[in-house]
Amino acid sequence: MSAARQFVLTLSCPDRAGIVAAVSNHLADQGGNIVEAQQFGDQETGRFFMRLVFENASRELADLDADFAPFARQLRMQWTLRDRSRRRRVLLLVSKFDHCLADILYRWRLGELPMDIVGVVANHPRETFRHLDFDAIPFHHLPVDAATKATQESALWSLIEQTNTDLVVLARYMQVLSNELSTRLAGRCINIHHSFLPGFKGARPYHQAHRRGVKLIGATAHFVTADLDEGPIIEQDIERVTHADTPDDLIRIGRDIERRVLARTLRLFLDDRVLLNGNKTVVFHS
């Protein structure tokens, strides 16, 4: 209703009676007004998840944060609190195929993806992306092979730290991150996986799908974990294919699925709608 500052709170904790009322009261006591709220109680794990958007005209984020911390501790919460106007800092990693990168840049320019892109990292040179307008976004060419992988990842990590990156997006970055880096980036690194997961794993999934004669192909966006392509799934989609589609057709159709699944995933993440629930996700759609 008003133009007051908006904050987004996400939390998860052991489920018990009265959490909603307790959280609502806590926010109201600080002068907050809840404008969106979504919750989910996982019957299997007994864990409770919540996302709230509230307005608070009188308090600063730091104050709200300081007040919420002891309250959250009592309820053993994992939580995040964000000024909704504070844009996430996102680093984009890409290899040769730039359909996801081009799509992200386009949507970002249009305002569909409220984020600051702090850099584009590629293991291919700038020339590969000569048709893309990067504006003032810094481009980093970090080539990599088996021998230089550790060094390259360490350069990558420095960059992540220097840029205060909140989220790393593997926008068709065809390198497997090391276990160390995957673990460091837990919960803040998203990958788009060509092919419907769980399905065809390993190399050339579209060729595998073609050989199998499937009538649907798909793509999966997921958090990166040390276990390649097995991280928590955030979003998936498919398209119909036919016997007449060649592997090249599947790759072309796959590009469309990949870019729209990744774009949707980014929008969800940037609006704090994706919460981790062990090896799964809770995704609060609007």
Q: Out of 229, 245, 271, 272, which one is annotated catalytic?
A: 229
- Asked if 258 and 99 count as a contact pair (C-beta separation under 8 A), the reply is yes
> Which residue number, 127 or 161, has a Cβ lying nearer to its own copies?
127
> Which residue number, 152 or 220, has a Cβ lying nearer to its own copies?
220
- Asked if 241 and 253 count as a contact pair (C-beta separation under 8 A), the reply is yes
> Which residue number, 152 or 191, has a Cβ lying nearer to its own copies?
191
| Cβ at position 112, least distance to its own copies in Å | 6
Handedness of CA 197, 202, 206, 211 (dihedral sign): negative
| Cβ at position 111, least distance to its own copies in Å | 9
Q: Are strands 274-277 and 78-83 parallel, antiparallel or unpaired?
A: unpaired
| Cβ at position 251, least distance to its own copies in Å | 10
Neighbours of 17 (CB within 10 A): 7
Q: How far apart are CA 173 and CA 188, in angstroms?
A: 15
> Which residue number, 18 or 70, has a Cβ lying nearer to its own copies?
18
| Cβ at position 229, least distance to its own copies in Å | 12
Q: Which DSSP category does 127 fall into?
A: G
Handedness of CA 146, 152, 154, 160 (dihedral sign): negative
> Which residue number, 181 or 261, has a Cβ lying nearer to its own copies?
261
H or E element, residue 43:
none
Q: At what angle do helices 99-110 and 247-270 cross, to 10 degrees?
A: 40
Name 189's Cβ contacts closer than 8 Å, sequence gap at least 6. Answer: 167, 168, 169, 170, 177, 182, 223, 224
Take residue 44 and report the two structure tokens written for it.
Answer: 């299997």
| Cβ at position 252, least distance to its own copies in Å | 6
Tell which residue, 94, 87, 89, 120, has the closest CA to residue 192. Answer: 94
| Cβ at position 131, least distance to its own copies in Å | 5
> Which residue number, 15 or 83, has a Cβ lying nearer to its own copies?
15
Q: How far apart are CA 142 and CA 133, in angstroms?
A: 19
Query: Is there a catalytic annotation at residue 272?
Result: no
Tell which residue, 185, 186, 215, has the closest CA to residue 199. Answer: 215
Catalytic amino acids? 229
